[in-house]
């Protein structure tokens, strides 16, 4: 039956901004167009060139030779993104900076400017909402949109509306995006990759075998590197291979829940709704040190970083209006093993000193005889601050946390 006004077919779009960070940077530094540019790392002295130009309003006139280069970068970290010209050298996102510097030492390296990307993120999402109000945020540069009941959403399977969205975003931001439209989020996500950049791809239910099944399993959003390796070990390489296995066999090898999901995904089934709002579950701050630290020898530095992380999490909670009752820490050792410890108390807090105290208790429960490369602090079990009736400190009093709150009041700041 053909789609009609009275019988709309479910049409879900996945919209993905093209090389988002790099494209935003090129708006500010048009002279870098076509050059190998890499974005990543933390702020460094070379970047003062950029800061001074920003203050003087002359960013678009910085001579090429004055831009910071990746070969001069000191320290560790990863590339957040790379322009197409940089990718020609084999440089890609999530690659270590040192490795990228070996592959393309002359690449221009810009610091990550999240504030600027967030500004553009708001801009393009406003354009979408004005056209199609059922939008789900998937981070700074991606959204799902339910086109089913949007006027014109059924035309050409969603192509007409997609073109309209692209034009509105281009007019407002100067940026391009790629859109995939399909019967559900799973297929829409895959479809948006078919025709990059600035493309539109329409997938219908009947296209499953021709457009989806030839793809590698890894293309399914939810199959990561570990599962992909395991699948390959079982001689399953394409989605067609996966779809050929039966449900019980997959559940035996991958567990009841994940096995059933794999089976459904391979057959293009996904009934998750487009979620227009969500509540955060946890907030955290973590940092990787310039060089690995030792719990005893670098105790002072570790303690200072630890306190700063707690203060940052507390500030994040306060700014967004949340409190939490599960306080935790994360440590990554020099061999990249990670451990976490957490502790749930019977009161809610967003107080830096309380978080510092409870996180300090967690830290005491983890082995500290090995060098540490990362330290993190997390607060979970979140509630809206105005939904929690008892004042945290009052609520704590007279409960199990009496001695603890006493310590908090006394500010026991010794680290280990």
| Residues classed as catalytic | 142
Decide: is 90 part of the binding site for DNA (CB under 7 A): no
Decide: is 404 part of the binding site for DNA (CB under 7 A): no
Q: Which of 297, 364, 365, 400 binds DNA (CB under 7 A)?
A: 365
Q: Which stretch binds DNA (CB under 7 A): 28-36, 240-248, 294-302, 335-343?
A: 335-343
Site for DNA in 120-139 (CB under 7 A): 138-139
Least distance between DNA and beta carbon 58 (Å): 29
Decide: is 335 part of the binding site for DNA (CB under 7 A): yes
Q: Which of 185, 263, 285, 404 binds DNA (CB under 7 A)?
A: 285
Least distance between DNA and beta carbon 15 (Å): 11
Q: DSSP for 384-395?
A: EGGG--S-HHHH
Cα–Cα distance list, 407 to 237, 257, 269 (Å)? 56, 44, 53
Decide: is 38 part of the binding site for DNA (CB under 7 A): no
Decide: is 387 part of the binding site for DNA (CB under 7 A): no
Decide: is 342 part of the binding site for DNA (CB under 7 A): yes
Distance CA 236, CA 3 (A): 36
Choose between 164 and 361: whose C-beta lies nearer to DNA.
Answer: 361
CB contact at 8 A, 215 and 221: no
Distance CA 269, CA 325 (A): 37
Least distance between DNA and beta carbon 62 (Å): 26
Distance CA 414, CA 416 (A): 6
User: x-or-dash pattern for DNA, window 69-88, by CB under 7 A?
Assistant: -------xxx-x--------
Least distance between DNA and beta carbon 64 (Å): 24
Q: Which of 133, 280, 321, 406 binds DNA (CB under 7 A)?
A: 280
Longest dimension (CA), the chain: 73
Decide: is 361 part of the binding site for DNA (CB under 7 A): no
34: left (phi over 0), alpha (psi -120 to 50) or beta: left
Q: Which stretch binds DNA (CB under 7 A): 145-153, 166-174, 197-205, 226-234?
A: 226-234
Least distance between DNA and beta carbon 344 (Å): 3
Please tell me whether the peptide bond between 197 and the residue prior to it is cis, using omega within 30 degrees of 0.
Answer: yes
Q: Residue 83: phi, psi to the nearest 5?
A: -70, 165
Choose between 154 and 178: whose C-beta lies nearer to DNA.
Answer: 178
Secondary structure element (H or E) that encloses residue 309, with its range: helix 299-320
Q: Which stretch binds DNA (CB under 7 A): 61-69, 97-105, 124-132, 208-216?
A: 97-105
Q: Which stretch binds DNA (CB under 7 A): 46-54, 178-186, 296-304, 340-348?
A: 340-348
Choose between 98 and 172: whose C-beta lies nearer to DNA.
Answer: 98
Distance CA 273, CA 257 (A): 19
Of the candidates 153, 234, 151, 222, the one whose C-alpha atom is nearest the C-alpha of residue 189 is: 222
CB contact at 8 A, 314 and 359: no
117 Cβ contact list (under 8 Å, min separation 6): 20, 21, 24, 140, 141
Least distance between DNA and beta carbon 183 (Å): 18
Of the candidates 378, 382, 404, the one whose C-alpha atom is nearest the C-alpha of residue 313 is: 378
Strand order, beta sheet including 142-146? 135-137, 142-146, 12-17, 177-182, 200-202
Decide: is 3 part of the binding site for DNA (CB under 7 A): no
Burial 225-239 (b: 16+ CB within 10 A, else e): eebbeebeeeebebb
Q: Which of 54, 340, 402, 406 binds DNA (CB under 7 A)?
A: 340
Decide: is 311 part of the binding site for DNA (CB under 7 A): no
Site for DNA in 152-181 (CB under 7 A): none
Residues that bind DNA (CB under 7 A): 76-78, 80, 94, 96-99, 101-102, 138-142, 189, 220-228, 255-258, 280-288, 312, 316, 325-326, 328, 335-336, 338-344, 362, 365, 373-374, 376, 381
């Amino acid at each position: 039956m053909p789609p009609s006004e009275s019988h709309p077919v479910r049409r879900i779009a996945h919209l993905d901004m093209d090389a988002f960070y790099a494209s935003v940077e090129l708006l500010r530094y048009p002279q870098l167009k076509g050059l190998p540019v890499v974005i990543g790392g933390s702020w460094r002295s070379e970047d003062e060139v950029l800061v001074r130009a920003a203050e003087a309003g002359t960013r678009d006139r910085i001579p090429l030779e004055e831009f910071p280069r990746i070969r001069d970068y000191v320290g560790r970290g990863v590339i957040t993104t790379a322009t197409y010209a940089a990718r020609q050298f084999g440089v890609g996102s999530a690659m270590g900076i040192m490795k990228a510097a070996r592959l393309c030492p002359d690449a221009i390296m810009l610091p990550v400017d999240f504030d600027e990307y967030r500004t553009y993120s708001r801009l393009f999402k406003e354009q979408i909402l004005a056209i199609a109000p059922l939008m789900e945020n998937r981070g700074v540069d991606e959204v799902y949109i339910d086109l089913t009941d949007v006027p014109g959403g059924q035309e050409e399977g969603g192509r007409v509306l997609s073109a309209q969205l692209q034009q509105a975003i281009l007019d407002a931001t100067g940026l391009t995006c790629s859109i995939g439209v399909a019967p559900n989020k799973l297929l829409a996500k895959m479809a948006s990759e078919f025709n990059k950049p600035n493309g539109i791809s329409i997938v219908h239910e009947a296209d499953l075998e021709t457009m989806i099944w030839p793809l590698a399993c890894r293309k399914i959003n939810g199959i990561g590197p570990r599962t992909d390796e395991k699948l390959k070990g079982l001689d399953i390489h394409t989605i067609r291979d996966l779809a050929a296995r039966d449900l019980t066999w997959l559940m035996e090898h991958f567990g009841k829940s994940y096995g059933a999901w794999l089976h459904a995904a391979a057959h293009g089934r996904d009934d998750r709704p487009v979620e227009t709002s969500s509540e955060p579950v946890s907030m955290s701050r973590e940092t990787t040190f310039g060089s690995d630290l030792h719990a005893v020898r670098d105790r002072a530095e570790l303690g200072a970083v630890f306190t700063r992380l707690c203060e940052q999490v507390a500030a994040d909670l306060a700014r967004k209006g949340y409190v939490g009752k599960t306080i935790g820490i994360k440590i990554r050792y020099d061999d990249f093993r990670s451990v976490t410890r957490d502790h749930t108390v019977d009161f809610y807090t967003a107080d830096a000193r309380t978080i510092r105290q409870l996180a300090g208790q967690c830290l005491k429960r983890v082995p500290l005889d090995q060098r540490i490369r990362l330290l993190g602090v997390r607060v979970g079990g979140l509630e809206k601050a105005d939904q929690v009736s008892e004042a945290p400190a009052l609520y704590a009093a007279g409960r199990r946390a009496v001695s603890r709150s006493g310590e908090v009041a006394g500010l026991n700041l010794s680290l280990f």
